[in-house]
Structure formats: structure tokens, C-alpha cells
Structure 1
Amino acid sequence: MAGTGAGHGGRCREIRLGARPRPGHQEPHRLAPLSARRTFWRTSLKFGVFDHVDRGDVPLAQHFDNRLRLAEFYDHNGFHAYHVAEHHGTPLGMASSPSVFLAAVIQRTHRLRLGPLVYTLPLMNPLRLVEEVCMLDQMSHGRLELGVGRGSSPYELAYFGVTAEESGGLYKEAYEILMQGLQSKTINFEGKHYRFKDYPVVLECVQKPTPPIWYGLSAPAAVPWTAENGVNIVCNGPSSNIRPITDRYREVWAGTARSSARPLPLLGMGRHIVIAETRKDALAAGKRGFDRWYASLQHLWRVHGNPMKHYPIPEDFMAALDAGILLVGTADKVAEGLQREIEIAGVNYVLTRFAFGNLSYEESLRSATIFAQEVMPRFTSEPSYA
């Protein structure tokens, strides 16, 4: 797999730092067994990482270096995939070219799957995107996870001359071209926004017919297309709002021909996580990081005099904590809260967020280390039931 000499040296030092048992460390106790009807997620539960790569307090070059060092840690400590957001003109996202950032991550990792969550299709030339996707999948030796979307911010779209009204049509055409380009040697397309004739596709992906596709969902009504096409999904917000989406997905999936030959796609839920030796320390760091992250989230909306009110995560730190969207505390408390959130939401994939706002590299690494050592093992071994 891809790698460089510098990456190997940095990784060895990183893992010694991240994986060192803490003073007084004991093996984590197993969570109490769930009832049989709630064990569906244990047989296939995976943990990944989602990252806005939002701006913190350190210089930008150091910011990128820190994220790459964290990716090395994820690579060696059992995380399934690393998903990176695309944003423009806002401190919410410094990886404005996910392909560039992911190419660097590829060189630092060997096992970790990785990809955009999502590429904003209305802002990209679909021919160029086909080629970038193929390059990333080849460079990673088949580790790419391909998230696609139309863009969540009308202000970011507008900076590129795209209106919210036309973004849907652009997205649909670009997605069709992308799928055609990843599965054929020639692109021919005639649409309202794009017209291509006999474009030769000289690159191809390692993964056939395409890398795994990802899409963000916020309501059950949008589920059928994803389930019918075997698309992985990710949801944000309270677990009680996510459950109708995952229930509907399973219902539609069970009726497809794919379900008899393939495992259930990943149904993901995002959660901010801060872990420390004491709840007090975790809360102090968590509030500071969350408040900065939310300010970045709201930045463009406030610049335009229209503070965002529709986002599924509350702006108030304690409200987000009470809703289970933030998991903050000791390893035991975070594990208990996470178990509850998984049960209610019905997900089989948790997208952790360890680095956000102005949390330091050391604080993010601490959370990720304790999570990997003391929380993940409680979920990734299937318990025996009497």
C-alpha cells in the first residue's frame, strides 16, 4: 500500500504516544448484554471518523499536519474509514479540495478507508471528477469511499454562480455522468447542464463497479433511492429522528434483489466525542471546541444576516449534550451514552468526531486514544447470550 519513509517514522512515534496505557489503566468492562432484538448492530458495527477539517487556533500548515497525524493514528487503531467534508469560503472547512487532502492522507495510511463526505457535485466538472476519483482509488489501492451531494449551503453555491434552485438538476446530471464514467470507457451525455460526446475514459477504479457510494439523509422520504441502489448513508441529529430513517432503509433494502447477495450497507450516525480522565476536564474541552465549531458552522449564515435555524444539532452545548449528539466524559460514560444512541438510532456505523473547533491536537488524540482502547472493544466483540 501507499506510504513514504517519513510517514513510517512519524507513524511509529505516533502510535507509541497514542497507544500507551494510561496510569492505573484497567481492561474496560463489557457493557451489559442487550436484549436479543437489539443485537442486530453488534454483528457488523463499525467505527469511522468524520472531519470538517474546520479552522482552529494553530497556523494552517500545522493544522493540516495535525490532521494527517491523526489519520495515521486512525489507520493503526481499528477505525474503518476517514471521511472529509468539502466547504468553501468558510472556516467550517479547510479541505476545500478533498481530493488534494485525501491524496496526502493516502500517503500516510495503509489500511484506513477514506473519502469525501461529500463531493459537492454542482460545483465540479464531472469529467474531471471521474478522473480524480479513479486516481484516488488507484493511489489508495482500492480504499476510496465516495460521498456525493448537492451542497448544504446556498451561500457557498452562490459564490460559484450556482443557485439553490438549479443545484438539484446539476447534481442529478453530474451524478449520472460520474456513474457512467466509472463504469465505461466512453462518456456520452446530453442534458440541460452538461453535454459530452465520445469522451474517452482512460482511467479506471480498482473497485468494481464503483467505490462504495455515500449520501447524507435527513428524512425517511429520501430513503428509497439509497436503499434500492445499495448506497451507504449518514445522518446527523437526535437518534430518535434517525431511527425512522434506518427502519425505512431496512424495509426497502429487504425488498431488493441485492439484499440476498450483499450485506446491509452502512447506516451511519455522526457524534462529537470528547474523553478525558475526569468529566470536568472533558466538559471544559468539549464546550470550548463545540462552541468554536458551531461558530464556524454558522459563519456564512450570519455574514449574510440569516442565522441558520434548520440544522439538526442544537447550538447550545448543554442542549446538544442532553440530546446525545455530543458524548463527553470519561470512557465509561461515553460508552454508556454511545450504546444508548446506537440502540435508539438503529445504526451499524458510528462516525466519530474527535477533532473539531479549537481542540488541540493533544486533546483530540487523547479522546481518540481512550476511545480506541477503552470504548471500541466493548462494541466490536459480539457478546454471548444465555
Structure 2
Amino acid sequence: MRLGIFLLAAQFDAGDHGAVLTAAMDAGIAAEEAGFDEAWIAEHHFVPYGLCPSAVTFASMLLGRTHRIGVGTAISVLSNQHPVALGEQTALLDQLSGGRFTLGVGRGGPWVDLEVFGTGLRRHDEAFAESLDLLMRWLTHQRVGADGEHFSFRKVPVVPRPRTYPHPPVIVACTSRETASLAARHGLPMLLGMHADDAEKAAMVRTYECAASACGRDPKAVEHAAAAVAYVADTRREAVEVLRRAMPKWLRRGLSAHVTVDGRQRHMRDPVEYTDFLCRIHPVGAPSDCVRRLSRTAERTGINRFLLFAEGAGVGTATLENVARLGKEVLPALQKQEAAH
């Protein structure tokens, strides 16, 4: 099992943005010290749900302040930027980090971001497949041109070329069967969100495997990943109470701040009910509860790579304590359990 810390740079209370971002960076550094394999950073625009507008920039800073841990974006919003620009940044970080960088990409939502960055709703609704294809060609070839509906340019040299063959690690955020099938055609693993329970994760894996087999790829050749809320306390009751005090207010403020580019209405879950749901399906509780939940999810879904959202208490010091306890009390128990099997 491979475990990473998932950072949103979440703004739980009104306050200094720099302090929130610094706390997220500190948590990423602490993840290496705690023995985690990876640290991941999310990207959001114009909402307090997460204060990091450039996951690649944050990842580059964290790579520079760590030595062993892998660092990834979860995710970089492909609909907001040119695939070649993102490919260049990925190749640069792949070279300078010695291969420690993983690019996570996703479609994103139909948010006002598309208006602000000038990419437009059509890029979101129609061009994700073309964008992903161009990105992957950039990461695997020496010269690349485009003659598509959304991207068209003469062949140019790829400079710098990545160091990792055949390309740097790339993972695709999947919330639909269409995107899962697209990832399968490229032979790229899926990143599944915190909202998905074990049954939904298992269904997405089956969709992926069917699509991979249909195009002649080995459906077991990739390592999918899933994001999960993780909080350790002495008892499950205590852990749930901590998250119930902090997360509903943050979810209400953060998710309601999203504005669609075309005025369409978006359904938002009840924040308290959603918090309770997340606590039920994810590793929240005493260390033994966390180990049991992660093991059960792995058994039911076949996923053995998890990105653990550790900021749920809403306080930087509590996040650092949570990361430390996960590293000290959960990781070794999982490793011992795996060794026994």
C-alpha cells in the first residue's frame, strides 16, 4: 500500500492567506518526516475551499524543500491552461526533481475560471480528450505539432525533454465513466475523489478495466489512487467530533463560493450530512479504525494507493499532529499487516 498526504491549503476561517499556504507547505514537509511516500496538492481558483491557484508552483516549492518524497498535483486543471505549457512545466520538474514529480490532471468544473482565463466553456465540455492527447504527445515525443479542433500549430521541438521514459508519471482525475475510459485508452491510472464510496470506486475500476481490455492494454498495468479524509484520535468518537466541528462550516463556505461560467445551478450536498458521510467511508478514528478502513477499501476496490486529506481539523497545529500520528501509528500497522500476508 502506498500512502500520501493530500493538501488543499483549505481556508477554514477568515484570516491570513499566507499562514494557510505556509501551514500546507509545513504539512507536506512533515509528511516526508513521518514516512509517507507522497504529498499531493490541489488547485482551486477564486474560492476559499482551497487557496492554491497553481498546483505545479506549489509542488515545485515542496520538491525543493524535500529530498525523498514524491510530490504530485491533485489536480492541475487542464481546461484552464494550454496543454503544452503544462507539459513544459512537467518536463522541467521531472528533470530538476530527479523524477519525483507526478502530474495529476483533470477536467475541472464549469466555473468562472474558464471566463477569467479565456479558455471558455467549450474547452471544458468538448476538448478534454484533445487536451489530454496533446499533453501526452508532448511528454513522449521529441517534436510535436497539432491540427485539431481546439489546438493547431506547426511542429516544434520539445525543450526540455523529460528525463523519465516513456514519460513522467501522469494520473487522471475521473468522476465519470467517459473519463475513466479515456484514461484507459492512454494507459494512465485514475485518481478517484473523496466523494466516492467503495462501491463507486469499484465500479469505476471495472469500467477502466473493460475499456483497457477493449483497446488491447493490460487493465492491471497501472496503479489507481483514491483520495480520502483521514483523521486519527484516541477514539473514533473523538475523531468524528473534531471533524464535525470544523468541516461543515468550511464546506459550506468553500463549495458555495463556486460560480458557474454560464449561470447553471449546481447542487451542493448538506455540509453536515456530507461530513458524516465522509467520516463513515474513510479512515477516521483510532489507529486501528484507520487501518481497518484502508484495508477494507483496498480489498473491495483493488486500490492500494491513497491520498489522505489531513487538514480536516482546520488548524495547522492539528494537521501536523494528525500527519505525525498517521505516520507513527497507522503506516507501521499497515506495513506489519501487509508483511503478515
Q: One fold, TM greater than 0.5?
A: yes
In structure 2, distance between residues paired with 1:256 and 1:189: 23
Counterpart in 1 of 2:199?
240
Report if the CA contact (8 A) 2:109-2:124 is conserved. Answer: no
Counterpart in 1 of 2:309?
353
Counterpart in 2 of 1:321?
279
- Match of 2:101, SS state, is coil
Q: Percent identity?
A: 22
| 1:100 matches 2:62 | no
Counterpart in 1 of 2:41?
84
- Match of 1:176, SS state, is helix
TM alignment of 1:111-126, pairs within 5 A = 111-126=68-83
In structure 1, distance between residues paired with 2:115 and 2:272: 26
User: Relative to structure 2, which stretch is displaced further, 101-110 or 276-285?
Assistant: 276-285
Query: Residues 72 and 139 from structure 1, CA distance in 2 versus in 1: closer, same or farther, beyond 3 angstroms?
Result: same
| 1:130 matches 2:87 | yes
Following superposition, the deviation at residue 251 of structure 1 comes to: 5.0
Q: Which runs of 5 or more residues in structure 1 are unaligned?
A: 1-44
Report if the CA contact (8 A) 1:285-1:359 is conserved. Answer: no
Query: Which amino acid is the alignment partner of residue 290 of structure 2?
Result: V
User: In structure 2, which of residues 296, 300, 317 is the aligned counterpart of residue 340 of structure 1?
Assistant: 296
TM alignment of 1:275-354, pairs within 5 A = 275-301=232-258, 308-309=266-267, 315-322=273-280, 324-325=281-282, 327-354=283-310
Following superposition, the deviation at residue 378 of structure 1 comes to: 2.4
In structure 2, distance between residues paired with 1:303 and 1:51: 24
Output one character per residue of 1:139-198: Cα deviation in whole Å (capped at 9) or x when no partner. 211111111122124333233344444424333333232222222332211222222113
In structure 2, distance between residues paired with 1:279 and 1:384: 25
In structure 1, distance between residues paired with 2:293 and 2:132: 37
Give me the CA root mean square deviation: 2.9
Counterpart in 2 of 1:39?
none
Report if the CA contact (8 A) 2:111-2:259 is conserved. Answer: no
What TM-score, normalized by structure 2, do the two folds share? 0.86
What TM-score, normalized by structure 1, do the two folds share? 0.77
Report if the CA contact (8 A) 1:173-1:191 is conserved. Answer: yes
Q: Which runs of 5 or more residues in structure 2 are unaligned?
A: none
| 1:65 matches 2:65 | no
The number of equivalent residue pairs is 336
Counterpart in 2 of 1:36?
none
Bigger radius of gyration among the two: 1
Output one character per residue of 1:189-211: Cα deviation in whole Å (capped at 9) or x when no partner. 12222221132322111211211
In structure 1, distance between residues paired with 2:160 and 2:39: 24
Output one character per residue of 1:327-361: Cα deviation in whole Å (capped at 9) or x when no partner. 332212222233333333331111110014x6212
Query: Residues 219 and 200 from structure 1, CA distance in 2 versus in 1: closer, same or farther, beyond 3 angstroms?
Result: closer
Query: Residues 54 and 223 from structure 1, CA distance in 2 versus in 1: closer, same or farther, beyond 3 angstroms?
Result: same
- Match of 2:230, SS state, is strand
